[in-house]
Amino acid sequence: MWENATKKEPTKEKKTMKTKEEIIEFLKKPEVESFGEIAEELLHHLVIKKQEQKLDEDIKEVTYNLAEIEFYYYGEEHEDRHTYIRMANAGTWFFHGSGMDLAFQTIEDKDKETLTSFGGILIRSIIRHEGNDKNDKTISGPIRCMEELINHNAGVLEWDMVEQSGNRDKEIATPIERTGLTPFAAEKANKEKDYSKRQYKYYLKNKPWQKSIVRYKYYPKQEHLAIVMKEDKIDYKI
């Protein structure tokens, strides 16, 4: 008896989506080497849910997918001073003058009155889903995204990881430099500490929405190397 000589193609293992709990574990202890992996998970599967109520209208549910994000992290051996100081728990929203972040865990050294780790993932572009695909809308720019998500909000702004997300099969572009950052004086003198050039921006490679990225500009307001934040009557300095 002749054996079947047909070669079988190796079975590709289906990639398992990270759960919300696993994403929060990363946010508690960020690892720079994992930024790309986590960005892929968030762009493909994170869904933001909002209960929306506009004037004289009934409450309706609106969902959003991420389309463009940037990582900002200050920690041991990663002193990215472009990161806004904050007191925040992992996985919560942090609002600031440039938009809103999905926050990393803030870690403090109370004895030294110093924050040792903080940061977040800035939301720069989102895709709004309301009903069928024809009603999908892209919002670009961190301030515009924040306004879209918090305005007309009739409930809690929640996020979760969803397997059958609208972004599940969309291609992710090669990461590039974050928008609008310029090196601080100390970074100009030491190129190794120039975090303004780090390629921490991740976004969907999916035209035509991608064209909207270039329609806005962002000018950073942080001009000084030393930043001071008052929290519970303690000055935290970096």
Residue 169 lies in a domain: yes
Residue 162 lies in a domain: yes
Average pLDDT, the chain: 83
Residue 6 lies in a domain: no
Which run of H or of E encompasses 100?
strand 99-103
Amino acid at 172: I
Say yes or no to pLDDT of 229 above 50: no
pLDDT value, residue 209: 55
Neighbour count for residue 100 (Cβ, 10 Å): 21
Residue 203 lies in a domain: yes
Say yes or no to pLDDT of 5 above 80: no
Q: Can you read off the two tokens belonging to residue 214?
A: 């270039």
* DSSP label of 172: B
Which run of H or of E encompasses 49?
strand 46-52
> At how many degrees (to 10) do helices 35-45 and 20-28 cross?
150
Q: What share of the chain in percent tops pLDDT 90?
A: 58
Residue reference for tokens 């991740």: 202
pLDDT value, residue 14: 58
What CATH number does the domain containing 150 carry? 3.10.300
Residue reference for tokens 């979760």: 160
State how many domains the chain has.
1
Residue 89 lies in a domain: yes
Residue 1 lies in a domain: no
Q: Indicate the pLDDT class of residue 3, thresholds 50, 70 and 90.
A: very low
Model-level pTM? 0.81
pLDDT digits (tens, 9 = 90+) for 26-67: 999 999 999 999 999 999 999 999 999 988 889 899 999 999
Residue 12 lies in a domain: no
Read off the pLDDT of each residue in 145-153 and give the average, rounded to a whole number.
Answer: 94
Say yes or no to pLDDT of 15 above 80: no
Contacts of 89-92 with CB under 8 Å at 24 or more apart are 90/24, 90/27, 90/28, 91/20, 91/23, 91/24, 91/27, 91/159
Q: Which domain holds residue 25?
A: 20-237
Task: Check residues 70 and 225 and name the one with the higher pLDDT.
Answer: 70
For the ranges 14-18, 49-53, 107-111, the one whose mean pLDDT is highest: 49-53
Secondary structure percentages of the chain, helix, strand, coil, to 5: 20, 30, 45
Residue 7 lies in a domain: no
